[in-house]
Amino acid sequence: MLHIFPEERWEPLPPKNFPRNVQSFDSKYGAICDSLMDFTRARDLLKGKYLHAYVIKSGLQTMPYLCQLLMNFYSKLCLPYCSEKIFHESGVDRFPTAWASIISGFTKNELPLCGIEHFKLMLRHDVNFLDDHVFPCLTKACVMIKDHVLGQSVHCLAVKTLFNVNVFVGSSLVDMYAKFGRLADAQKVFDEMPERNVVSWSVMMYGCIEMGDWEGALRFFKDALWHGLDVNGFTFSSVIGLCGNLTLFQLGKQMQALCFKMNHYRTGFIGSALISMYSRCGEIEGARGVFDEVLDKNVGMWNAMMIAYAHHSQTRRVFELFEEMENVGVKPNGVTFSCILYACSHAGLVEEGNLYFRKMKVYGLQPRSKHYASMVDLLSRAGKLQEAIKVIEEMPIQTESAWGALLTGCRIHGDTELGGYVADKVFELGQVSIDLHFQASNAYAAAGRYEEAAKVRMMLRDGGHRKETGLSWVEDGNRVHTFAAGERRHELSAEIYRKLEEMEEETARAGYVLKEAGVEEKIQRTRYHSERLAIAFALISFPQSRPIRVMKNMRCCSDCHVAIKFMSKCSGRTITVRDNSRFHRFQNGECSCGDYW
């Protein structure tokens, strides 16, 4: 007798669609199985438990098929240990498929070690139980615990047993190596697969994207189409996401058309990828268009649209969407609140931010580190540095992004003393990112603690770390024109620099001057920043009617921000600059960000 729920006294009242008065054993058994599958699909824990009790009462608890259905049910409902209990007590371990079931149950429920443990037990029990179904679970478990060595031995076992020729096994191996960041190994497995399908191509592409090999990803996508592969929604959402990352607007639109033609269009995943793509290419209206077109909206789509508005400084719209979402009955999740807090932070709305932060609890959401970090960001940007420190102290785990946000706040509001103190705190954290080290070193310098600043710089230099090169780029037809500060590699360099000098005179006449001390040096340092080169290029080569969209991998410096405002005024054109965190839409001497970024 199983006692999974010993506290329950059940005098069974069968669930509605469960036939109570069936006579023959077979049809009763079949009905139980059908109902159980229904309850699994519906994730109805109560009815399932009830049925389980009924199974025991009817003495059917050793029927292998039923046991597997029950195990499956409990795994799907995130109760892997209930599944394990059935497995060990019902004698179902005579069947290889039950082993596959228990192993996958553990890995799916984020218990990779238990899964691996049961795999070892299985091999000890009977080596012949090994089949192609367990390999994908194993590779997934290896990814979860980031165990390269174990992953390799799984691969090795697959090769020895020849299961590696199976397309499922092969794809999961490719995925594993890709997630380990070992693209070359992934590619090797991929190349050696005798048979490939959409998933094999998709995981390879996704791996390339994760590793920043964007061109490689596009090449794979093209090859997949070339091989006549029936690419699906998974594949498209990756590629569209990639177009958003690289701001390849033309390609992105082609992908949208292709999705439409291949009937993958109206899903939440594609929808949110498209919204993000349009938004990242500066086309906020286009993003809204997609949002309105896709009728079956999931949370992801609402979130994507909200973050799009936030990036474009249309804060009011973000709040409107949130309200609409509530009215329609879509339940916001943690990411939703990240979007809102981000929006508040970039509009300086401290009170609203506080309100929404508290509102999380109403939705049963526990604020996570990133939400605390957003609050710190919001408060420190608004100059409420002491309150920001309080939030950090409240955090369950203090993260580097929170301290980083506070450092940024100190810099913006010129509180050098506090900045130095925060930098000390950063080093107490131990392992932190290179970016934060640079920030801390700048904070020391600002606080006049030059020796410490130099020490940090030295440490970074000895570690071989350098700042990422600032780049700006513009899409023109089939070509992406990339610029770095002060470089003259572009074939139109001469004209570009001439245009910049011309603009300098024009903007000076319009009133553009640098206010700070050390002006001459600063002009020299900033006049050929990469975004200015890109804008100048667009000014001389784009027709007047074409909007200018410049993308940048770093934050726009305040001097360029002013300069571009004047450039937009003098040239009478709308210039959109996307830096690494948000959008600036310059129009007639004004910027959409309201100078708060």
Partner DNA sequence: ATAGGGTTAG
**Binding footprint of DNA on the chain (CB under 7 A):** 33, 37, 65, 68-69, 72, 95-98, 100-101, 104, 108, 131-133, 135-137, 140, 166-172, 175, 197-200, 202-203, 206, 232-235, 237-238, 241, 244, 268-269, 272-273, 276, 298-301, 303-304, 307, 311, 333, 335, 338-339, 342, 370
Distance of closest approach, residue 63 Cβ to DNA, in angstroms: 8
Q: End-to-end alpha-carbon separation of the chain, Å?
A: 65
Paired sense of beta strands 575-578 and 548-552, if any = parallel
Distance of closest approach, residue 469 Cβ to DNA, in angstroms: 23
Distance CA 537, CA 320 (A): 38
DSSP state string for 378-441: HHHHTT-HHHHHHHHHH-SS--HHHHHHHHHHHHHTT-HHHHHHHHHHHHHT-S--HHHHHHHH
Distance of closest approach, residue 243 Cβ to DNA, in angstroms: 11
Q: Which is nearer to DNA, 345 or 530 (CB)?
A: 345
Cα Rg of the chain (Å, integer): 29
Q: Which stretch of DSSP H or E encloses residue 585?
A: strand 583-587
Q: Which is nearer to DNA, 193 or 379 (CB)?
A: 193
Distance CA 259, CA 39 (A): 34
Distance of closest approach, residue 154 Cβ to DNA, in angstroms: 13
Q: Which is nearer to DNA, 128 or 544 (CB)?
A: 128
What's the CA angle centered on 526, arms 529 and 442, to 5 degrees? 105
Distance of closest approach, residue 78 Cβ to DNA, in angstroms: 13
Q: Which is nearer to DNA, 39 or 566 (CB)?
A: 39
Contact status, residue 95 vs residue 87, Cβ threshold 8 Å:
no
Distance CA 54, CA 515 (A): 81
Distance CA 234, CA 217 (A): 14
Q: Which is nearer to DNA, 311 or 481 (CB)?
A: 311
Distance of closest approach, residue 386 Cβ to DNA, in angstroms: 25
Distance of closest approach, residue 126 Cβ to DNA, in angstroms: 14
Distance CA 516, CA 526 (A): 13
583 has which bridge partners? Answer: 578
DSSP state string for 454-523: HHHHHHHHHTT--PPPPEEEEEETTEEEEEETT---STTHHHHHHHHHHHHHHHHHTT----SSSHHHHH
Q: Which is nearer to DNA, 268 or 409 (CB)?
A: 268
Distance CA 446, CA 558 (A): 17
Distance CA 103, CA 99 (A): 6
Distance of closest approach, residue 462 Cβ to DNA, in angstroms: 32
Q: Which is nearer to DNA, 32 or 567 (CB)?
A: 32
Q: Which is nearer to DNA, 343 or 418 (CB)?
A: 343
With a CB cutoff of 8 Å and minimum separation 6, the contacts of 54 are: 10, 12, 14, 18, 32
Q: Which is nearer to DNA, 241 or 252 (CB)?
A: 241
DSSP state string for 260-328: HHTT--SSHHHHHHHHHHHHHTT-HHHHHHHHHH--S--HHHHHHHHHHHHHTT-HHHHHHHHHHHHHH
Q: Which is nearer to DNA, 206 or 403 (CB)?
A: 206
Distance of closest approach, residue 393 Cβ to DNA, in angstroms: 23
Distance of closest approach, residue 373 Cβ to DNA, in angstroms: 10
